[in-house]
Amino acid sequence: MTEVRIAGVGLTRFGRHPDRTGRDLFAEAALRAFEDAEVPRADVEGLNYGNFIGALAEGQGHQAPLMAEAAGLRCPATRYEEACASAGVAVREAVRTVRSGEADVVLAGGMERMTHVDTPTTTRGLATAADDLFEVRSGVTFPGAYALMARAYFDAFGGDRTDLAHIASKNHANAVDNEYAQYRREITVEEALDSPPVATPLHLFDACPITDGASAVVIVSEAYAEEHGLDAPVAVTGTGQGTDRMALGDRESLTETPAARDAATAAYEEAGIGPEDVDCAEVHDCFTIAEVLAIESLGFAAPGEGIRAAREGFTTADGDLPVNLSGGLKAKGHPVGATGAAQIAELVRLLRGDHPNSEHVDDATTAIAHNAGGTVASAVVHVLEVAE
């Protein structure tokens, strides 16, 4: 199989962009990725583009060719939709395409624009990632669904809101120096605890924000990188994808995310590593409890132990395994169709040493990206390693 390298990454600032179009945002991310990679657009053989609710929020379907045009590409373009894991799947399929030898250069990324519409409209759009028949029509929202998962976790293993508040505080601290983050300010554990309730036990600072933004990653074969003298030190050595039942009521447990566990198992096996080899991770913390479930699914903590990881310093910037040095979805923001590729971009910057938080992982050689859709009915995991 062909070894896959990441030649360049590009991001927009995450946050509110009411006066910009989706194509404008993606064009910016793509431009930055091409400049970072020093790869000519003419060499790109495919665009893998992630987007979730553009047809609802922007009234624009059939976005793949539109984004190819915005990025200055004339190549086959495909849109991937897997809810919040859309860009993660787009990256995974790009990796598989290059690895198979079908292409040498693929641009993968995503975009979402949501802040220009009112919150009820955005909420209705995001709710389509849940089971309409058995959840949405009954009034289940994603804050409510993750609150059910948090309650089940507390009942099974213990833990409390203070443990979750430590996760929120940690991720906000990580976002302060990240120029692409939506919320670049620290919050204390007390502020998180005092924030208004959203769906008990989750409060405002347990939830990620509504966000606009775009991401892009230039994925190339090792042979292409060598032939063109590219500085592409980060390789994608493992990738996996998992699926679970959509509705929480149909699952065997609310305290586990089997889709993420299956994706991680496949990615670890493909890369020939285990969780003990990972130096840092970006995980899908759409809610603080989601970070707990993620690190347990990835094998960084045993079931019931992930709840204490931030509070005990294990996942903090200076801990044994820094998690979400970008600020995570919680503070960096969550433009859902762009998030999976944005996680990859942040990890590449960390491993290359050009991220503002690289000082915390200056000896890091291996990283994990965990991207989830809905209540983790879909999950994608990537292993990134510094190439020898």
Catalytic residues: 84, 334
- Maximum alpha-carbon separation in the chain: 57
Backbone angles phi, psi at 386, to 5 degrees: -70, 120
How far is residue 110's CA from residue 339's CA, in Å, rounded to a whole number? 7
Bridge partners for 383 per DSSP = 238, 368
Q: Which contacts of 311-316 are long-range, i.e. CB under 8 A and separated by 24 or more positions? A: 311/162, 311/163, 311/166, 315/167, 315/170, 315/291, 316/170
State the sign of the Cα–Cα–Cα–Cα dihedral 247, 248, 251, 257: positive
Nearest to 222 by CA among 7, 32, 384, 10: 7
Q: Which of 145, 154, 123 is nearest to 53 (CA)?
A: 123
> In which element (H, E) is residue 372 found?
strand 366-373
| Reduced 3-state DSSP string for 158-193 | CCCHHHHHHHHHHHHHHHCCCCCCCCCCCCCHHHHH
Q: Is 259:292 a contact under the CB 8 Å cutoff? A: no
Query: How many other β-carbons are positioned within 10 Å of the β-carbon of residue 162?
Result: 12
